[in-house]
């Protein structure tokens, strides 16, 4: 009887038909697995290398499954990482089907030993077929997105145009400034030099002419008259003297005869002396006159040369003015082209935002990441865990498996009985092991920061037990999520300000302690009360919470440092420095709407560091700490209730059940984007707290935002 059953079961298993689609997918997966999957992070480089190839592929017969699969593969791998991951998961699942098929044939050879497990094998086969049908439906859905992904190539074209436009603008501005400065300097230098030289030469010519005329007529006459006058005066004096002497000599004629002769000799000597001096002066004046004539001729030559040079400068000036007019005409044309490019860039930017939001909605408006805290000093005290990539799972998520630490119980005979270790499985959108850095984490969430700049409200918060690394992940001054997000926003806003509007960032930094809100911004920071940019904005203002304008990463470092000192902390059995409040850093993106002539709120980015969750039995708190713990757990429970109601599409969402959910209301519903970062510790002593955190995060991960 048993032998006949085994024979029938073996014949039935061998007669199971192979699904034709499975055979087709298996062949396709092996052929495609040899093709490297490349993520194109730079669309402009993709255009330069593959635009022509893609134009040919578009002409392929879309009814041909192989051609259609090739187009889908190219579009997905060149567009974003998510589609690439889905494609790789598809191939992995087909390989998994192949393994299951191999295992099925192996079981057929072992039917005599596996009769009692035949029903289980058949149910497993049904489950595999169900998975296969699910993957087939996924492929059909991806095919429907093909046309949208083809259009996404236009995004690459727009980026290429933007790059060329920026280079063109830089070149035009550089040439414009260069030629204007050069032409202006040449004209001014030429005119000033010419005027100075012309004035100098005219003054020299006038002086030389006056001096020459003076020397040529008056000087000689004046010197001659002067000499004659001097001679006459001397003769008069001499005559008078002689008359006196004659009268005296008449009485002393004999005595003075010799003296008179001597005087005549002296007179002759003086006459010769004055004659020589007069002749010397005349010769000197003649020499000076000749020199002045030569200088006058040289000045005339220089004047003619200057006139010639002035004519050349005038000709050059006219030519440069014509060039300047031509350049101004080109500049006007360039400005018109730039305005046209700006309009095109605006359109492409709107289309990019649409595609980016489509991608984010495909990933999910609520996402949950998990991070394992590194414990380098306690490697021997950690429970076992395993991370499986989405390629190894059936729900397209990464899986974390944790194993409960083994415990020993003693009986009366002192014998030890080991409990069987339990393994718990949780699925998340992304799991970061203990080797992951804050930079690796921010690379994953940067797309949500971009969504806030695109006009969506975004909430990113860290959750987990006390001491699990939430504050380090969120507020580390070097590479935490807060400083990294603000740095990225400043970089992106610089580009947006060039393209379209004038964007500004405003922020609030406060904590929720119980049901009270406490400001974490000190009075020394710039406090904005009546700024024109904030008048009339649709912002839910919190009482006694300051709002400041954000302008640099250095400012953010100061905010984080002051907030960490001011935030409520206390020591518990679970952690020496446990955060007893929820800290919230709200960033408002403000822009000026030229159509409405006013400022408007574009989006909000909420960066929330939740207080540490802990069980009362583990923390062993009492008094004020007990009240704090109850308030923390109540607010976290209210957060879970809000998410559960969103999942159930309830008509009433209990946002007002806690201060935390009321403050985060604008980022927990509608088309908002929410990311939870659950942080856990892998120490054996923290296993129960880590398990509780993972269960709460798993509850959030199963929620889809209601629209």
465 is known to lie in a ligand binding site: yes
699 is known to lie in a ligand binding site: no
C-alpha dihedral sign at 58, 59, 64, 70? negative
Ranges 207-221, 428-442, 590-604, 643-657: which has the least confidence? 207-221
The Cα 449–Cα 604 span in angstroms is 10
27 is known to lie in a ligand binding site: no
Ranges 35-44, 249-258, 327-336: which has the least confidence? 35-44
Half-sphere exposure of 236 (CA within 13 A, CB side): 6
Per the model's pLDDT, the better-predicted residue between 409 and 570 turns out to be 570
Residue 394: predicted pLDDT: 66
In three-state form (DSSP H/G/I as H, E/B as E, the rest C), the secondary structure along 177-238 is: HHHHHHHHHHHHHHHHHHHHHHHHHHHHHHHHHHHHHHHHHHHHHHHHHHHHHHHHHHHHHH
466 is known to lie in a ligand binding site: yes
| pLDDT band at residue 488 under the 50/70/90 scheme | very high
Please say if the pLDDT value at position 501 is more than 80: no
Show the tokens assigned to 698. 């798993």
Q: Which range is most confident: 188-197, 340-349, 409-418?
A: 340-349
Query: Exposed (0-12), middle (13-18) or buried (19+): which is 658, by Cβ within 10 Å?
Result: buried
Ranges 162-176, 374-388, 621-635: which has the least confidence? 162-176
Residues 614-644: tens digit of each pLDDT: 666 555 556 677 787 788 888 888 888 887 7
Section 113-123 average pLDDT? 61
Ranges 345-349, 403-407, 411-415, 488-492: which has the least confidence? 411-415
The Cα 65–Cα 50 span in angstroms is 22
Show the tokens assigned to 387. 């991370």
- Per cent of the chain over pLDDT 90 is 7
- Non-local (6+) Cβ contacts of 446 within 8 A are 485, 488
Section 639-652 average pLDDT? 77
Per the model's pLDDT, the better-predicted residue between 689 and 171 turns out to be 689
Residue 590 contacts residue 526 (beta carbons within 8 Å): no
640 is known to lie in a ligand binding site: no
- 438-701: which CATH topology? Kinesin (3.40.850)
Section 447-476 average pLDDT? 88
Q: How far is CA 555 from the centre of its chain?
A: 16
Q: Which of 465, 480, 438, 474 is nearest to 611 (CA)?
A: 465
Residue 646 contacts residue 703 (beta carbons within 8 Å): yes
Residue 380 contacts residue 367 (beta carbons within 8 Å): no
399 is known to lie in a ligand binding site: no
| pLDDT band at residue 40 under the 50/70/90 scheme | very low
The Cα 194–Cα 630 span in angstroms is 90
Per the model's pLDDT, the better-predicted residue between 50 and 110 turns out to be 110
């Amino acid at each position: 009887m048993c032998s006949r059953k085994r024979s029938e079961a073996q014949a039935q298993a061998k007669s199971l038909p192979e699904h034709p689609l499975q055979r087709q997918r298996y062949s396709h997966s092996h052929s495609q697995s040899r093709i490297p999957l490349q993520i194109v992070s730079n669309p402009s480089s993709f255009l330069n290398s593959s635009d022509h190839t893609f134009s040919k592929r578009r002409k392929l017969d879309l009814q041909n499954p192989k051609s259609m699969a090739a187009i889908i593969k190219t579009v997905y791998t060149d567009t974003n990482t998510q589609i690439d991951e889905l494609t790789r998961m598809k191939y992995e699942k087909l390989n998994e089907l192949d393994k299951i098929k191999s295992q099925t044939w192996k079981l057929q050879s072992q039917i005599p030993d596996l009769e009692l497990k035949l029903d289980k094998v058949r149910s497993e086969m049904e489950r595999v077929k169900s998975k296969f049908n699910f993957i087939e439906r996924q492929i059909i859905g991806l095919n429907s997105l093909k046309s949208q992904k083809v259009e996404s190539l236009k995004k690459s074209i727009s980026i290429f145009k933007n790059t060329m436009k920026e280079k063109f603008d830089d070149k035009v501005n550089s040439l414009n400034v260069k030629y204007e400065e050069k032409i202006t300097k040449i004209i001014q230098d030429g005119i000033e030099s010419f005027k100075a030289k012309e004035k100098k030469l005219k003054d020299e010519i006038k002086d030389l002419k006056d001096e020459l005329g003076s020397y040529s007529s008056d000087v000689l006459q004046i010197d001659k008259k002067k000499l004659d006058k001097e001679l006459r005066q001397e003769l008069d004096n001499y005559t008078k003297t002689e008359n006196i002497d004659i009268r005296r000599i008449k009485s002393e004629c004999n005595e003075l005869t010799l003296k008179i002769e001597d005087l005549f000799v002296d007179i002759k000597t003086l006459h010769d002396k004055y004659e020589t001096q007069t002749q010397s002066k005349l010769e000197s004046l003649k020499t000076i006159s000749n020199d002045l004539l030569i200088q006058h001729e040289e000045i005339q030559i220089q004047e003619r040369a200057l006139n010639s040079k002035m004519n050349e400068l005038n000709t050059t000036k006219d030519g440069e003015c014509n060039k300047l007019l031509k350049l101004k005409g080109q500049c006007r044309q360039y400005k018109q082209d730039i305005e046209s490019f700006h309009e095109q860039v605006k359109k492409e930017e709107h289309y990019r935002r649409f595609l980016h939001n489509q991608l984010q909605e495909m990933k999910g408006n609520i996402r949950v990441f998990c991070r394992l805290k590194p414990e380098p000093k306690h490697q021997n005290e950690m429970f076992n865990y395993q991370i499986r990539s989405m390629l190894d799972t059936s729900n397209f998520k990464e899986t974390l498996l944790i194993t409960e630490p083994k415990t020993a119980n003693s009986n009366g005979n002192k014998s030890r009985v080991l409990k069987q270790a339990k393994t718990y499985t949780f699925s998340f959108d992304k799991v970061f092991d203990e080797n992951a850095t804050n930079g690796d984490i921010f690379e994953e969430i940067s797309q949500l920061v971009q969504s806030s700049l695109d006009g969506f409200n975004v909430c990113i918060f860290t959750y987990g037990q006390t001491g699990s690394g939430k504050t380090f992940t969120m507020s580390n001054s070097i590479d935490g999520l807060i400083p990294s997000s603000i740095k990225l926003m400043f970089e992106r806003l610089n580009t947006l300000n060039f393209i379209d509007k004038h964007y500004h960032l405003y922020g609030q930094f406060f904590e929720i302690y119980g049901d009270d809100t406490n400001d974490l911004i000190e009075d020394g920071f710039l406090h904005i009360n009546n700024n024109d940019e904030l008048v009339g904005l649709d912002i839910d203002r919190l009482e006694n919470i300051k709002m400041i304008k954000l302008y640099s990463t250095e400012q953010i470092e100061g905010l984080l440092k002051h907030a960490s000192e001011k935030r409520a902390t206390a020591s518990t059995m679970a952690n020496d420095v446990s955060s007893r409040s929820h800290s919230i850093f709200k960033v408002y993106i403000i822009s000026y709407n030229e159509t409405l002539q006013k400022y408007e709120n574009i989006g909000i980015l909420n960066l929330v560091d939740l207080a540490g969750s802990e069980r009362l039995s583990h923390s062993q708190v009492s008094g004020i700490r007990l009240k704090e713990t109850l308030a923390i757990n109540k607010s976290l429970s209210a957060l879970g209730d809000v998410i559960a109601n969103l999942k159930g599409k309830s008509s009433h969402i209990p946002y007002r059940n806690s201060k935390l959910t009321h403050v985060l209301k604008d980022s927990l519903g509608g088309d908002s984007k929410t990311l939870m970062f659950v942080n856990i510790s892998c120490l054996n002593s923290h296993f129960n707290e880590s398990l509780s955190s993972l269960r709460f995060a798993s509850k959030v991960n199963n929620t889809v935002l209601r629209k």
